[in-house]
Amino acid sequence: MQNFNGKVAFVTGAASGIGLGMAQAFVEAGMKVVITDIRKNALDAALASFGEKAADVRGIVLDVTDRKAWSSVADEAERAFGPVHVLCNNAGVNISGRMQEATYSDWDFCLGVNLGGVVNGVQTFVPRMLAHGEGGHIVNTSSMGGLSASKGAGLYCTSKYAVVGLSESLRADLMDQGIGVSVYCPSAVQSELFESTAVVRPAALADSGAAPPPAPDLASRAASPIFATAMTAEEAGRRVLAGIRRNDMRPCRTNRRTRPGSPRWAKRATCRSTRNRSPRPRRPRRSYPIGLSRLWLRHCTVQRGSAHSLQSWPTNQPAASASPRVCHSSQ
Ligand SMILES: NC(=O)c1ccc[n+]([C@@H]2O[C@H](COP(=O)([O-])OP(=O)(O)OC[C@H]3O[C@@H](n4cnc5c(N)ncnc54)[C@H](O)[C@@H]3O)[C@@H](O)[C@H]2O)c1
């Protein structure tokens, strides 16, 4: 998508944090935006933050796990602004703890919102986008936890890895239909994730073995180094907008600390230049369309228009050859 003016976006989990940052970036680009969230009070506060642009924004309460509500909320959104062109499945919860201590309720809560919410958004809006035929883009919010797993984050990582897989496949499925798909995998972003997770967990799924970490109060968290150096939600929103414009598979996930010019970036650049002086001959590099790491290999294959070959691998062929992140046995 190149032209955003007058187009319509629908963002879940947009009462705060990254979702609100996306909505702000979309409004600045001239779009009409439907912001949805399960937390009504936070949604009202978010709406008020748009000031004189509030006419371009509509707030609707939506629990992304509620399949029945999705279609009526989609109808309401279309009545307000017309057909939706950009769908951002962003609502999420953060649940942590060791997997051996997790309960079924923990799993259902985490997967229900983080993965089920994305599934429900896709099921609701893809047919509508195909029907209006004006093209569009879908952004699913995953995480760095959807690209690399870590101790104590098994439930969260499971849900976020699934969102990456869903998005990559959906991108291939929709690439000839005028609908782009991106998966956003940020590292730390300033948001209310700890606080909101504690509020939105339904009583029916409250039996917890792997509870979310206790939420520190906002003031002390804002002063903590990890929060202070994290990307702002506004910046995250602008990066997502730029990623849609470029039709990135994964909009830039670089943190502020690794942005060009930052101390960490400088350190890495030094390492790179040291490596470059190594007497070992360097392997010739494959050239990719934009600055891409090996993780992007599968994306490039899709981007270059060979989605057909992705879908038509015979089962006895080592599909892993196109997927550098997956190890297969020799069988
Ligand atoms: N903040 C980070 O560092 C970070 C890093 C990587 C990924 N993420 C992901 O970004 C997304 C947005 O989170 P955030 O960090 O902006 O936190 P946030 O708490 O500010 O936003 C998440 C929003 O989702 C809403 N939500 C939760 N359950 C919901 C449900 N069932 N239905 C509808 N809305 C629901 C919450 O009310 C909240 O407004 C999440 O998917 C999160 O996993 C965040």
pLDDT tens digits, one per residue of 105-114:
999 999 999 9
Dist CA 181 CA 170 (whole Å): 7
Q: What is the mean pLDDT of residues 171-194?
A: 95
As a whole number, mean pLDDT of residues 180-191 equals 95
For the chain, give the mean pLDDT: 81
Q: Whose CA is nearest to atom 23 of ligand 1?
A: 13
Of 1-10, 148-157, 284-293, minimum mean pLDDT range: 284-293
Residues with CB under 6 A from ligand 1: 12-13, 15-19, 37-39, 42, 62-65, 90-93, 113, 141, 143, 186, 188-189, 191-193, 196, 200
Q: What is the pLDDT of residues 15-69, one digit of tens each?
A: 999 999 999 999 999 999 999 999 999 999 999 999 999 999 999 999 999 999 9
Sheet order of strands, 86-89 included: 57-61, 32-37, 8-11, 86-89, 136-141, 179-184
- Res 247 pLDDT > 50: yes
Q: What is the structure's pLDDT at 311?
A: 28
C-alpha span between 144 and 255 (Å, rounded): 11
Q: Please state which CATH number belongs to domain 8-263.
A: 3.40.50.720
pLDDT of res. 321: 33
Residue 194 Cα to ligand 1 middle (Å):
9
Average confidence (pLDDT) over 132-141: 98
Which of 118, 196, 240, 250 should be mutated for ligand 1, with most atoms under 8 A from CB?
A: 196
pLDDT at 250: 75
In this model, does residue 227 exceed pLDDT 90? no
Is the confidence at residue 292, as pLDDT, over 70?
A: no
For residue 19, give the nearest of 129, 140, 130, 107 by alpha carbon. Answer: 140
298: pLDDT confidence band, cut at 50, 70 and 90?
A: very low
What pLDDT does residue 262 have? 54
Per the residue annotation, which of 156, 161, 184, 288 is the catalytic one? Answer: 156
Beta-bridge mates of residue 61: 37
161 as an active site residue: the answer is no
CA-CA distance, 171 to 181, in Å (whole number)? 5
**Confidence class for position 303, pLDDT limits 50, 70, 90:** very low
